[in-house]
């Protein structure tokens, strides 16, 4: 179906264009032989960041009626929405659930062929899975249940300037010569560079039809959060001492983060709660399906 300008190229819809990953994905999608449309609560904020050929439409994933126009004629829709860092972060699970349900219903009714979603790693069978990671997985399930083919990428920390979890680590390391380290700093994780995340998201456009799938993505090696702090400090030429302590609750960790980093207490606490859960790639199907070979942590 032609877009608003009468262009009969396949139309891609991007949500989350003002966010970290979405903002970096826009210029890459603008180079594709497709028509790009971006959903924005405030279109005037996003328009200066896109090419004149990119369509920006008003809409809000929490406002179901606003999504019909945005999804009209869309072939592939990127769902890069996460409401944890918004004003209602204390109840982000309910908001994310409602937003995903609205989008899934609208995408199904509009005839969207594929949804591409970026979620989080973590073992679904873990009874102690944090609310943050549980919500990320729940959103993926809601999108799949729409009946629209959904490609879900699950990632741990995205390494790159502007990534919230990376900026937390960087801010802590820059500001604290000595860190009291709770046990979660020994939790295994497989972070991934933002460039590799973008490569996977782009590659999903060319994936042959085959039903909804989940792909776990990460760097080649498993490290701990303490290892990441040491690697970052070494590259910055900083001497840092990590001192283990027997307990530092997520609540106290969140307060600690609020004192020494720009992140709000609520967002920091939710992220810290997720650090107790191993975030490693257990299914290596992404390496078989895609030609992408993620770079190492260094």
Q: Compute the residue count for the chain.
A: 298
Domains and CATH numbers, the chain: 11-158+191-221+279-289 (3.40.50.720)
Cα–Cα separations (whole angstroms), residue 78 to 44, 150, 178, 182 = 20, 10, 41, 36
What does the block give as tokens for 176? 């604290």
Give Cα 204 to chain centroid, integer Å: 15
pTM assigned to the model: 0.89
Are 240 and 176 within 8 A, CB to CB?
A: yes
Question: Mean pLDDT of residues grouped by 10 in the chain (298 residues)?
Answer: 58 94 96 95 94 96 94 97 62 91 97 97 87 92 97 95 81 77 80 97 95 97 90 88 66 58 53 76 96 96
Q: What is the C-alpha separation between 126 and 241, in angstroms, rounded?
A: 32
For 43, phi then psi, to 5°, come to -55, -35
DSSP-assigned beta bridge partners for residue 215: 153
CA 39 to chain CA centroid, Å, is 17
């Amino acid at each position: 179906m032609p877009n608003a300008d009468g262009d009969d190229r396949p139309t891609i819809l991007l949500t989350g264009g003002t966010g970290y990953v979405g903002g970096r994905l826009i210029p890459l999608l603008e180079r594709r032989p497709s028509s790009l449309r971006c959903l924005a609560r405030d279109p005037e904020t996003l328009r200066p960041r896109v090419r004149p050929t990119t369509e920006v439409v008003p809409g809000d994933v929490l406002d179901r009626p606003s999504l019909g126009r945005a999804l009209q004629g869309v072939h592939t829709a990127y769902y890069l929405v996460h409401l944890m860092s918004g004003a209602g972060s204390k109840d982000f699970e309910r908001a994310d659930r409602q937003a995903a349900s609205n989008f899934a219903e609208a995408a199904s009714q509009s005839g969207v062929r594929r949804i591409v979603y970026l979620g989080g790693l973590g073992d679904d069978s873990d009874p102690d899975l944090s609310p943050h990671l549980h919500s990320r997985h729940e959103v993926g399930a809601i999108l799949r249940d729409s009946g629209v083919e959904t490609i879900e990428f699950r990632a741990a920390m995205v390494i790159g300037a502007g990534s919230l979890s990376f900026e937390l680590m960087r801010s802590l390391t820059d500001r604290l010569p000595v860190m009291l380290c709770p046990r979660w700093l020994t939790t295994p994780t497989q972070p991934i560079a933002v460039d590799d995340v973008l490569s996977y998201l782009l590659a999903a456009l060319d994936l042959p039809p085959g039903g909804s799938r989940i792909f776990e993505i990460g760097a080649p090696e498993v490290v701990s959060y303490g290892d990441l702090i040491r690697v970052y400090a070494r590259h910055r030429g900083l001497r840092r001492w990590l001192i283990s302590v027997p307990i530092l609750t997520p609540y106290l960790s969140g307060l600690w983060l609020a004192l020494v980093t720009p992140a709000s207490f609520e967002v920091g606490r939710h992220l810290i709660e997720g650090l107790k859960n191993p975030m490693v790639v257990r299914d290596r199907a992404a390496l078989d399906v895609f030609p992408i070979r993620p770079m190492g942590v260094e």
